[in-house]
Structure 1
Amino acid sequence: MVKENRQVYYKIKAFLVENGIKHRDVARVIDAKPNTVSKKLNGLSSDFTLQEAKDMHRILGVPIAYFFEPDVPLRERERELKEGNM
């Protein structure tokens, strides 16, 4: 069983499906292999780089906010609030 390294990009995955954009299309835009795109989307590899996010936004129309999801676990938010960092 493979464990995710980080959160899955659900909104980006949904956007791609809704717009008929294949992993190979994304791969061409970010100069990667479709398998790499799949791994990034599913949390099994590194995050998208800022340049990759910008290119996917500019060329494919993926909303840039989808790359920066504020889904911080509740206990993390609570700790940040207690420490005065938020």
Structure 2
Amino acid sequence: METRNREPYKKVKAFLIENEVKHKDVAVLLDMKPNTISKKLNGFGGDFTLDEVKLMHSELGVPIAYFFEPRVPKKEHKLIS
């Protein structure tokens, strides 16, 4: 069984669901297989590159901060709000 490499992109996943964007749509945009997108989103694959993040932001409207928030220490979350 595969283990997670990192925390899943929970906010990105929620954004895609709320906006009815399928993994297949993201895969076409990023020229990847849907399985690769799923692995990246769920923490089993690598991280998204900055170019991929920018493309998802410009084409799908995914907030860039959603890709980086899990790495911000909890004590600093209040400062960002």
Task: Please report the TM-score for the alignment, with normalisation by the length of structure 2.
Answer: 0.84
Give the match for residue 37 of structure 2. Answer: 37
Q: In the superposition, relative to structure 1, how do residues 19 and 8 fare at CA in structure 2: closer, same or farther (>3 Å)?
A: same
The root-mean-square deviation of aligned C-alpha atoms, in Å, is 1.7
- The TM-score, its normalising length taken from structure 1, stands at 0.80
Q: Give the whole-Å Cα distance in 2 for the aligned partners of 1:52 and 1:34.
A: 14
In the other structure, the counterpart of 1:60 is 60
Query: Which contiguous aligned blocks of 4+ residues in structure 1 show a shift greater than 2 angstroms?
Result: 70-74
Between structures 1 and 2, the one with greater helix share: 2
Distance 1:65 1:72 in 2: 10
Q: How many residues align?
A: 75
Matched, 1:7 2:25: no
Greater CA radius of gyration, 1 or 2? 1
Equivalent residue number for residue 78 of structure 2: none
- Runs (5+) with no aligned partner, structure 2: 76-81
RCO comparison, higher one (Cα < 8 Å, 6+): 2
Q: What runs of 5+ residues in structure 1 fail to find an aligned partner?
A: 78-86
Percent identity for Structure 1 against Structure 2: 64
